[in-house]
Structure 1
Amino acid sequence: MAEGISFDIVPAEKITIQEFLALGGFGYVYKGKHEEWGITVAVKVLQEPTGKHNQQDLIKEAKIMNDVRFDYILRLYGIYQKPEELGFRLGLVMEYMENGSLFSVTRHIRPLPRTLQFRILYEVALGMNYLHGLKPPVLHLDLKPSNILLDESFHVKLTDFGLSEWKKFSTRTKSSPSSLIGGTWPYMPPEAFGNLNYKPDEAYDNYSYGILMWSVLTGEEPYSNVLQFGSAITCLVQEGQRPDLSILPKDLPTEMNDLMQQCWSQDIGCRPHFRDCICQIREIFDFEVYKSEIQQDVRIVQDALSGKESSLESSDCCHHNKDLQHLERADDSDHCSGAASSSSCVQDLSEEDENKQIIEKMSNVEGVLDLLAESKVIKGAEYDVLKHRVVRSNTVQTTLNPMVKTAANIVGAFYDLFKNNPLE
């Protein structure tokens, strides 16, 4: 049924919003159901209403995205439109991807099995090669894990490409330097920071792909220790600093490491085209030879995401791919190794040790969020959005964390008091 749907204006009353999914690049993302089409869709809605003039510009740009048809490109169904007092609230009605974004998946399981890492990077290159091969080329300009969606079998669908007007509109009132430039700063090339008259070309996306490779292969976010973006950061990138190579897997093929560093080269001319990336990854990894291993790893990750840790535990014993020895639930990484869940770790702790762990977690905002997630007060996309904001927030690190730590110390003191002097 979905194949027969043409690009159109989709009135808000035709979609029943079912669930908040994430905070996207230019607005809020929801899961919904189109009542007439009878299918589940994703709806990405701008944060602010738009006037009539802006509405036409946004619709014109979205139609360009709608014309792109390729296996590794997310399908756009139409423009969501909701009338409001100050204009229209616009959004994009798109394919719904069961496994969400690469960003959300790797927040729960990291690193992914090597076979899936390579296939994801390969399919991203296929999608980008198609976009760059159009006449005129379509630039993505925001290639990052949250813009790489994954279907039920973890195949790639690229989204949020060619939407500069949408992003300009959504960031018009923000003061972040990265917003003024238009991308996400860890994935932006050095030339984008050093020239106010800079006009991006294909090399911009090639650089972003290099940073993406590092993120996929390590399971980490680039420059995660940087609390606030600023001119000092842009200078370091322009001087040649890149993500930490020392945390890459020791058994990573040299050719993959070389390709990654070529993509993020300071010299634009040294960055390989995506068609070259496709060829090199094929030479490094034969997808036909490892077809059965890929299918097995897909099932393992599916089970892990659905909470069936037992399948992960057994895989460590019988699966020949040694990368799976490092497969772990990100939520449990503070206290566990391998595939064991936090509940199995806590079983070996005394009640006193368990209480001390809880108090220790309460000593910073990130730990409090983890406790709320464990108690299912917040979950899924809401947890991911809040955790991401906390990590990046200078205010949290310098102001809130000391206050939270003081409160945790008070709780700890009361705990010690009542433990040593129990109430009769």
Structure 2
Amino acid sequence: MSTVSGDEAVPDPPALPGRRWLLPSAVIHEFDPAAARPGGRPRRTARDWIVDFSCFLLAVLIGLIGADSVGDNPHVTHSAATLDQLLGAAACAAVWLRRRWPLGLAVATVPLGLLSDTAGGACMIALFTLAVHRPFRHVAWLGGVNIALVPLSLRLRPDADLPYVVTVVLAVVLMTATIGWGLLVRAKRQLMFSLRDRARRAETEAALRAEQAQRLAREAIAREMHDVLAHRLTLLSVHAGALEFRPDAPQAEVARAAGVIRESAHEALQDLREIIGVLRAGDHDDTGRPQPTLAALDTLVAESREAGMKVTLDTRVTDPAAVPASVGRTAYRIAQEGLTNARKHAPGTEVTVTVTGGPGEGLVMTVRNPAPDGEVPHVPGSGQGLIGLTERATLAGGRLEHGVDADGAFRVRAWLPCG
């Protein structure tokens, strides 16, 4: 099953592995929308709880170190140390809110970091969370404010063991490293989302390419079906219609028509096998029967004459052997369709098939028949033959024209590149 976004079909996200608890909630929310709560906020995974608890323990551990340092600092009074520890405890408890309000927590820890050494660990975790979950502009502003306040904070509560400059440098380096680590984690997550989106787009494009290939294959089947079978089935229709309207015809004529019907049905089955074989295996089918080329025009004309048509073939190709097989096959199909149409719509008329040209100048194929005398019996057809021929000639790099001449004759003329 796949979802649709706009005009583009997007496949469903890939199935998550069994150890999904190792993934952060943001990643699971991207891969599995069902993991989100009704409000849209992703649920915490087991990994999230482990990470949050580790961050809380780290904040508490750093807070205890800071509280001990503040208690032993002769520059800090007892009441100031007590306030420092209380603010640090509140900051450590607020670490549990870092996923829901990362920006608010980072803003709240700015004054806490200025007033409390015990809140130092919570302030670092708040900056790290901000760098992971929010855009860089927020990180730049709040990170810059925190770094700018470091000298003032250490001026208010100088370290009892290290020089002032050293403590400022260490604090700035530690804060910068924390922000950089958070930005690295965010960049890795964005890369993961980008790769996932690229994979989904690749799947979509592959599905569209497969669908297009399937559609082209269907069109090729339909085109070959029409071009090949219409010729045979028209013979069946014409001779079966003759038997229907002339039940009192001489025995020899009835036997001849029945023979043409049998032979046409046999040839239609052979052509059908040939089409399927070509679509599966290329230019030759499984039986080794070649596709018709320009050299097969004589056989096509002979079959039409045996069916009772009057056909004149005029072939003036300078070098028939140099005509590519694909061009010859297209010319054969044009002649076949022209003879089929003449048999259906102008029975009894003389059809002229002319082939001229050669390599370097192109191949010119003309099928012409005069207007029929009297009323012509209706023979059903799809009406798509000439459209298919035009498309076939265009795909071969040529062009096809058809219409009625000034004398009423119908003419099909095609030019095909050759050589």
Q: For the pair shown, which has the larger CA radius of gyration, 1 or 2?
A: 2
Q: TM-score, normalised by structure 1?
A: 0.20
TM-score (norm 2): 0.20
Compare relative contact order (CA 8 Å, sep 6+) and give the higher one, 1 or 2. Answer: 1
Q: Would you tell me which structure has more helix in proportion to its own residues?
A: 2
